[in-house]
Amino acid sequence: MESREAPLAGRSAIITGANQGLGRSIAEHFLRAGASVLLTARGEALLKQTATELAPLATHPGQKILARVADASNADHCTATVKQACAELPNPCILVNNAGVYGPFGLIEDNDWLEWVKSIEINLFGTVLMCRAVLPHMRAAKYGKIINLSGGGATAPLPRISSYAASKAAVVRFTETLAEETRDAGIDVNAIAPGALNTRLMDDLIAAGPEKVGAAFFERMTKVRDSGGTPLDKGAELTVFLASAASDGITGRLISAVWDDWANLPNQREQLTASDIYTLRRITPDDRGGWKKCA
**Whether residue 168 lies in the annotated active site:** yes
Q: Which of 12, 150, 163, 247 is catalytic?
A: 150
Whether 164 is catalytic: yes
Query: Which has the closest alpha carbon to 39: 9, 7, 76, 84?
Result: 84
C-alpha R_g of the chain: 19
Nearest-5° Cα angle at 76, 73 to 77: 60
Given a contact cutoff of 8 angstroms between Cβ atoms, the answer to whether 30 and 235 are in contact is no
Active-site entry in 164, 212, 234, 278 = 164
Separate counts of helices (H) and strands (E) for the chain: 11, 7
Inter-helix orientation angle 21-32/44-54, to 10° = 30
State the sign of the Cα–Cα–Cα–Cα dihedral 57, 250, 182, 76: negative
Q: Which residues are annotated as catalytic?
A: 150, 164, 168
